[in-house]
């Protein structure tokens, strides 16, 4: 074997295609699933249905991008659903309180990031294990959402019209949430691949001590991933409220599990340091199509849960097998 | 094909051999690690296995332990062909492999570690703790170590832990014990103890395979030596009939002239000045000065505070008091991040836990501590990064299919070269290195030495080098500090530095 092959740096494209290739096993699973869906129910290929699937992918996908950042650092964020709830209520309160939609959007995004920042401080500075910190936040934020809303959904009423674009609008025939997801995913891919911060996320996730000794501010990285996760939960909340024209304090319940499942199915390792956004996008698509088929053929929501749970365990099992080789 | 191989194996069966491996081949993606290796161990002998980094030594041993499956080849142990080796089967046959990074449960006791999964039971099926600790003590005493069997593993020294591993092997009636670079973590007197243990077990009929990059040990302990190069056996003879020169030549394929590069240092101004550093009971009143272009060695027994001193300087551990001046300016360095930004690099001793990101690529590891050179307008220029990583890898002769390979798949010595490359990429002007050549083969050692000397002479880099390898410290350093129990016990000029002098100051008196 030669000491070092002297291939020229055709790196960018080469590496990019390599990471797509890694996710391509999943891509086949996804395409296979689509074929099965089309065979099982002709309604699947109906444009309206497909738009629905896309919208679903977008909504869960945005939260899952944040979750991917967190899991890459070997963390976990159980509080995204509750943060989403707080933000949904806050958005409804601000809009019905007569705030301009633009200002309301900014404030809600700040609230989500702020709650994420509390997680980040707890994990990075307080050294509270992520599971515990975000579990606490999950309970607290849900309580906060219920308190703010007095336990009742808050309808947007007159404000609904001026706030409809985000969740129900379309651009060039594609729903706005899908555009938002595309932008979020593109930025996330860029950050992870082409910025020092992205590298540092992988470094912290693969070996915190080595990262520290390599001059990486581990605290800073651990802090920011939770801020990002909170921010994206807030963004999702805005789309929710716009779509449903109501801010529900229970909005987003259980979405953390969905996001974790998507991330893990997408091949991001729960042990940190491995994985990425491509996988997460496909993971979101797989789960959305799966849910859609089961709805179309009339499988009960209860049975759907059983299937979903089994798939999550299966995905992790597969990963462990692959690792052992 | 299997049948043919088996019959071939039995044809050449030799009853004086405890182990015969014939025609073993193993490939990984892009790497042919073993290419038809035949390797036999005589009953009761110590058989040394040597070769460059990446030659395939560890891979061969992993096949022997059942951890990897070979692509081809036959293993015959104690006269019987082992068809499809699995780890539990190999343990059952009496083969014990003790890896350099041995897997112990740090929070369990000595007894629990020895009998892990096989603790003796009472009539009622409960663990018989009394018998467990009695037996454990028995095994440890047989090895000449008296350790409390109820002591927690993480309270023991590395040498004692290694003995626990050997005790575990004995408790499973091991007939063949493999030691993969055992000396890398041992001091000199601990090594002598290990040798004594090996010799006495040898008298009881246990056979050993001994892997090491320190050739002196090979001559001290082994009866037979086998040299691997690029996955092939290139030499296998009685150690008595070997010379060091011949051994090196068959390992690296050429002679290595002077072992240490000639040095004509030009010392510059004082770069780093440390005055009166204290940290609990670990560091006591440490002072040192370092001039540009100088290589200062730090010696001492394990636990003397050598690594802790380096960690204190770069801000990885907090200090109680003391001053650090860099280029004449007093500074507080409270994080490694700050140290790196000030131009102080640190290559830690334990590459797996502190030095590397094993999941990531070679190039990721080399460039991570200084990515800003590859930034063009907020965006990493991946091509430029890759080029830089390739240059470093080529300069240090890192053996890897390419720089995108996962660093965890590289052999130990090649990983160590990447640790050094990482510091070079960080462009420091003070470099603190902890055991820079641990697990590195002779050829690569020489390359690292040349590199360090070159950096001091050409770039005026100042180096502090901690090492347990005394010839290395004496051969490389302009000045040697000897540490003992957290203090600097002596400072020796190059002319006065002998192994005896260093050991005299290093031992407690
Ligand atoms: N799991 C793996 N995946 C891919 N390549 C591997 C793997 N394990 C070993 N290799 C490759 O096989 C070759 C032999 O490695 P091995 O670890 O056996 O070397 P070694 O002789 O023990 O070296 P050292 O002295 O540095 O420990 C190396 O080129 C290494 O990169
Ligand atoms: Mg090895």
Residue B346 neighbours by CB distance under 10 Å? 28
Cβ atoms B437, B419 nearer than 8 A: no
Which of A4, A196, A211 is opposite residue B380, by nearest beta carbon? A196
Max Cα–Cα distance, chain A, nearest Å:
73
Q: How confident is the model at residue B252 (pLDDT cuts 50, 70, 90)?
A: confident
Residue A306 structure tokens: 């059983």
Q: Is the CB of B62 within 6 Å of ligand 1?
A: no
Which residues lie across from B431 on neighbouring strands? B345, B463
pLDDT in the model for residue A184: 97
pLDDT in the model for residue B104: 66
pLDDT in the model for residue A80: 97
Q: How confident is the model at residue A8 (pLDDT cuts 50, 70, 90)?
A: very low
Q: How confident is the model at residue A250 (pLDDT cuts 50, 70, 90)?
A: very high
Residue with tokens 């049975």, as numbered in its chain? A303
Residue B349 structure tokens: 């001793």
Residue with tokens 């491509």, as numbered in its chain? A278
Buried b (16+ CB within 10 A) or exposed e, A157-171: eebbeebbebbbeee
d(CA A174, CA B500): 80
Predicted complex ipTM: 0.85
Show the beta-strand stretches assigned E in B195-252. Answer: 207-211, 224-229, 232-238
Cβ atoms B502, B299 nearer than 8 A: yes
Residue A42 structure tokens: 């002709």
Q: How far apart are the first and last CA of chain B?
A: 65
Which residues lie across from B227 on neighbouring strands? B50, B235
pLDDT in the model for residue B509: 59
Ligand 1, pocket-test mutation among B33, B234, B437, most atoms within 8 A of CB? B33
Q: How confident is the model at residue A7 (pLDDT cuts 50, 70, 90)?
A: very low
Cβ atoms B213, B439 nearer than 8 A: yes
CB contact under 8 Å between B337 and A209, yes or no, is no
Among residues of chain A, what percentage have pLDDT more than 90? 62
Q: B87 CB near a chain A CB, below 8 Å?
A: no
Could you give the dihedral angle defined by the CA atoms of residues B361, B365, B369 and B374, in that order, rounded to the nearest 10 degrees? -40
Domains and CATH numbers, chain B: 44-67+86-252 (3.40.50.300), 264-343+428-509 (3.40.50.300), 359-427 (no CATH)
Residue B81 structure tokens: 């062909």
Long-range own/partner contacts, residues B88-96 (CB < 8 A, 24 or more apart): B90/B64, B90/B65, B90/B66, B91/B172, B94/B172, B94/B173, B94/B174, B94/B175, B94/B176, B95/B19, B95/B64, B95/B65, B95/B174, B95/B175, B95/B176, B95/B178, B96/B168, B96/B169, B96/B172, B96/B174, B96/B176, B96/B177, B96/B178
Which of B32, B341, B383 is opposite residue A12, by nearest beta carbon? B383
Residue ranges covered by each domain of chain A: 24-34+43-318
pLDDT in tens, B20-63: 999 999 999 878 999 999 999 999 999 999 998 889 999 999 99
User: Cα dist. B94→B17, B88, B97, B113, B196 in Å?
Assistant: 14, 10, 10, 18, 21
CB contact under 8 Å between A211 and B387, yes or no, is no
Q: Is the CB of B231 within 6 Å of ligand 1?
A: no
Q: Are strands B80-82 and B31-42 parallel, antiparallel or unpaired?
A: unpaired
Q: How confident is the model at residue B8 (pLDDT cuts 50, 70, 90)?
A: very low
pLDDT in the model for residue A203: 96
Cβ atoms B178, B98 nearer than 8 A: yes
Q: Which of A170-174, A223-227, B253-257, B435-439 has the lowest mean pLDDT?
A: B253-257
Q: Are strands B283-291 and B95-98 parallel, antiparallel or unpaired?
A: unpaired
Q: Is B299 a residue whose pLDDT tops 80?
A: yes
Residue B128 neighbours by CB distance under 10 Å? 16
Q: Is B489 a residue whose pLDDT tops 90?
A: no
Cβ atoms B470, B188 nearer than 8 A: yes
CB contact under 8 Å between B380 and A274, yes or no, is no
- pLDDT, average across residues B160-176: 84
Q: A69 CB near a chain B CB, below 8 Å?
A: no
Of A163, A162, A221, which is closest to residue A195 (Cα–Cα)?
A221
Q: A314 CB near a chain B CB, below 8 Å?
A: no
d(CA A99, CA A159): 9
Max Cα–Cα distance, chain B, nearest Å:
75
Indicate the burial class of B234 (C-beta count within 10 angstroms; 0-12, 13-18, 19 or more): middle
Most confident range (mean pLDDT) of A164-173, A198-207, B98-107, B127-136 is A198-207
pLDDT in tens, A42-97: 889 888 899 989 999 999 999 999 999 999 999 999 999 999 999 999 999 999 98
d(CA B72, CA B34): 10
Q: How confident is the model at residue B5 (pLDDT cuts 50, 70, 90)?
A: very low
Q: Is the CB of B50 within 6 Å of ligand 1?
A: no
Residue B157 phi, psi dihedral angles, 5° rounding? -75, 165
Q: Which of A155-169, B211-225, B231-245, B322-336 has the lowest mean pLDDT?
A: A155-169
Supply the mean pLDDT for chain B. 86
Residue B411 structure tokens: 């052999």
Q: For the domain with range A24-34+43-318, which CATH number is right: 3.40.1440, 1.10.3470, 1.10.1760, 1.10.10?
A: 1.10.3470
Q: Are strands B270-279 and B321-326 parallel, antiparallel or unpaired?
A: antiparallel
- Nearest chain B residue (CA) to A216: B337
- pLDDT, average across residues B197-213: 91
Q: What is the pTM of this model?
A: 0.84
Cβ atoms B490, B481 nearer than 8 A: yes
Q: B387 CB near a chain A CB, below 8 Å?
A: yes
């Amino acid at each position: 074997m030669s000491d070092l092959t002297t291939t020229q740096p055709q790196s960018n494209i080469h590496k990019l295609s390599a990471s797509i290739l890694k996710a391509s096993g999943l891509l086949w699973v996804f395409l296979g699933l689509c074929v099965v869906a089309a065979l099982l129910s002709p309604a699947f290929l109906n444009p309206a249905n497909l738009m629905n699937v896309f919208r679903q992918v977008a909504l869960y996908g945005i939260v899952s991008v944040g979750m991917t950042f967190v899991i890459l650092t070997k963390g976990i964020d159980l509080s995204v659903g509750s943060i989403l709830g707080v933000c949904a209520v806050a958005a409804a309160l601000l809009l019905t309180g007569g705030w301009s939609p633009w200002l309301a959007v900014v404030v809600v995004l700040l609230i989500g990031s702020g709650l994420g920042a509390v997680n980040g401080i707890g994990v990075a500075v307080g050294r509270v294990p992520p599971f515990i910190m975000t579990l606490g936040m999950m309970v607290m934020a849900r309580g906060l959402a219920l308190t703010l809303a007095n336990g009742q959904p808050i309808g947007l009423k007159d404000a609904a019209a001026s706030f409809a674009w985000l969740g129900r609008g379309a651009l060039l025939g594609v729903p706005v949430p899908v555009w938002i997801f595309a932008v979020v995913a593109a930025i996330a891919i860029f950050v992870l691949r082409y910025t020092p911060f992205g590298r540092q996320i992988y470094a912290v996730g693969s070996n915190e001590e080595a990262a520290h000794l390599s001059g990486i501010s581990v605290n800073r990285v651990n802090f920011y991933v939770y801020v990002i996760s909170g921010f994206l939960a807030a963004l999702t909340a805005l789309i929710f409220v716009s779509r449903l024209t109501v801010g529900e304090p229970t909005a987003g319940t259980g979405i953390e599990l969905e996001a974790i499942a998507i991330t893990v199915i997408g091949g991001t390792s729960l042990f940190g340091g491995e994985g990425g956004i491509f996988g997460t996008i496909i993971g979101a698509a797989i789960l959305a199509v799966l849910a859609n088929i089961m709805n179309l053929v009339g499988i009960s929501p209860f049975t759907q849960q059983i299937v979903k749970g089994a798939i999550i365990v299966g995905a992790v099992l597969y990963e462990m097998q692959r690792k052992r080789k | 094909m299997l049948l043919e191989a088996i019959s071939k194996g039995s044809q050449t069966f030799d009853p004086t051999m405890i182990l015969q491996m014939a025609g073993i081949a193993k490939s990984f993606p892009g790497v042919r690690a073993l290419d038809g290796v035949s390797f036999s161990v005589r009953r009761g002998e110590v058989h040394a296995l040597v070769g460059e980094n990446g030659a395939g030594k560890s891979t061969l041993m992993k096949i022997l332990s059942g951890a990897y499956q070979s692509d081809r080849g036959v293993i015959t142990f104690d006269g019987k062909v082992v068809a499809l080796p699995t780890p539990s089967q190999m343990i059952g046959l009496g083969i014990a492999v003790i890896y350099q990074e041995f897997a112990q449960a740090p929070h369990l006791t000595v007894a629990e570690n020895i009998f892990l999964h096989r603790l003796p039971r009472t009539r009622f099926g409960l663990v018989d703790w009394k018998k467990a600790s009695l037996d454990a003590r028995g095994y440890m005493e047989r090895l000449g170590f008296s350790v409390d069997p109820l002591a927690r593993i993480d309270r023991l020294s590395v040498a004692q832990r290694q003995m626990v591993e050997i005790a575990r092997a004995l408790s499973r009636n091991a007939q063949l014990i493999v030691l993969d670079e055992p000396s890398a973590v041992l001091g000199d007197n601990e090594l002598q103890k290990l040798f004594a243990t090996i010799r006495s077990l040898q008298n009881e009929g246990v056979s050993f395979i001994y892997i090491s990059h320190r050739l002196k040990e090979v001559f001290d302990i082994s009866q037979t030596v086998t040299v691997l190069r690029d996955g092939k056996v290139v030499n296998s003879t009685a150690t008595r009939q070997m010379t060091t020169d011949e051994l090196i030549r068959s390992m690296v394929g050429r002679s290595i002239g002077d072992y240490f590069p000639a040095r004509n240092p030009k010392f510059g101004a004082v770069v780093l000045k440390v005055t009166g550093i204290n940290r609990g009971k670990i560091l006591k009143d440490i002072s040192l000065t370092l001039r540009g272009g100088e290589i200062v060695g730090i010696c001492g027994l394990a636990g003397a505070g050598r690594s802790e001193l380096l960690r204190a300087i770069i801000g990885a551990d907090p200090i109680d008091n003391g001053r650090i001046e860099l280029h004449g300016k007093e500074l507080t360095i409270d994080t490694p991040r700050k140290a790196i930004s000030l131009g102080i690099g640190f290559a830690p001793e334990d590459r797996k836990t502190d030095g590397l990101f094993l999941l990531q690529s070679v190039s990721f590891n080399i460039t991570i501590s200084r990515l800003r050179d590859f930034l063009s307008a907020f965006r990493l220029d991946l091509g430029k990064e890759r080029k830089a990583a390739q240059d470093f890898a080529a300069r240090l002769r890192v053996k890897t299919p390419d720089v995108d390979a996962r660093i965890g798949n590289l052999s130990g010595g090649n990983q160590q070269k990447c640790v050094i490359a990482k510091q070079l990429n960080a462009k420091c002007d003070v470099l603190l290195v902890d055991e820079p050549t641990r697990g590195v083969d002779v050829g690569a050692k020489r390359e690292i030495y040349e590199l360090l000397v070159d950096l001091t002479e050409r770039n005026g880099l100042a180096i502090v080098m901690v090492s347990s390898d005394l010839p290395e410290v004496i051969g490389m350093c302009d000045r040697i500090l000897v540490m003992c129990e957290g203090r600097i016990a002596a400072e020796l000029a190059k002319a006065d530095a002998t192994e005896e002098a260093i050991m005299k100051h290093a031992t407690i008196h």
